[in-house]
């Protein structure tokens, strides 16, 4: 091997080893790298007990209710398999909407209600003008009313 090839080999070997080390560390810390827990994970007791964590999912359609003080909001977060109730007192972000993504930070109380201190809205990677969005919504509504796509609907709340 020429010195040149030797240096190349060392560099490739070094990058390979570092990549493997970083990969293992990130794999081991998977739960800490994830920003939030899903309601299913909380249901299986994978979320930390007694300390603050984040849950994420969709705001269930028709679940948002405001208390009479006008500030406290109750809603359910669902990952389409499990859902949990969230109580939050404060101002919600503009993009907070039923059926849209949300991430909330807070603690579980004794009745398994999530007491949120912070609610963040999560938007998706699709960008389109309002007319196109309306058209898609109408097409989807027409489809689901004819009963061809039952998978797109949410599971009934228990």
Partner 1 sequence: MAINWFKYSAPSTFYGLAGKLIPFFVWPAVVLFGIGFYIGFFVAPTDAVQSEAYRIIFIHVPASILSMFIYLIMAGYAALGLIFKTRLSAMMASALAPTGALFAFISLWTGALWGKPMWGAWWVWDARLTSELILLFLYLGFIALQASIEDPRRADRASALLAIVGSVNVPIIYYSVQWWNTLHQGSTIKFSGTSMHIAMQQSMFIMLVACWLYAIAIALSRVRSIILERESNTQWVRELVELKGERV
State which of residues 92, 98, 107, 144 lies at the interface with partner 1 (CB under 8 A).
92
Residue with tokens 């963040």, as numbered in its chain: 120
Q: Is 61 helix (H, G, I), strand (E, B) or coil?
A: coil
State which of residues 45, 49, 126, 145 lies at the interface with partner 1 (CB under 8 A).
126
128 binds partner 1 (CB under 8 A): yes
Rounded Cα–Cα distance for residues 121 and 57 (Å): 10
Rounded Cα–Cα distance for residues 26 and 71 (Å): 39
Binding mask 51-90 for partner 1 (x = CB under 8 A): -----x----------------------------------
In sequence order, what are the residues at sequence separation of 6 or more whose Cβ sits closer than 8 angstroms to the Cβ of residue 65?
73, 74, 75
Could you list the residues that contact partner 1 (CB under 8 A)?
4, 7-8, 11, 14-15, 18-19, 22, 26, 30, 33-36, 38, 56, 92-95, 103, 118-130, 132-134
């Amino acid at each position: 091997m020429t010195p040149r090839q030797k240096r190349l080999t060392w560099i490739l070997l070094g990058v390979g080893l570092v990549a493997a080390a970083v990969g293992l560390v990130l794999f081991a810390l998977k739960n800490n790298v994830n920003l939030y827990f899903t309601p299913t994970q909380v249901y299986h007791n994978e979320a930390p007990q007694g300390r603050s964590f984040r849950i994420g999912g969709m705001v269930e359609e028709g679940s948002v209710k405001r208390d009479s003080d006008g500030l406290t909001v109750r809603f359910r977060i669902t990952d389409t398999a499990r859902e949990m109730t969230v109580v939050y007192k404060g101002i919600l972000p503009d993009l907070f909407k039923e059926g849209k993504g949300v991430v909330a930070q807070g603690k579980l109380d004794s009745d398994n209600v999530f007491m949120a201190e912070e609610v963040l809205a999560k938007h998706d990677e699709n960008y389109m003008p309002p007319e196109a969005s309306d058209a898609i919504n109408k097409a989807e509504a027409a489809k689901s009313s004819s009963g061809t796509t039952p998978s797109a609907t949410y599971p009934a709340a228990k």
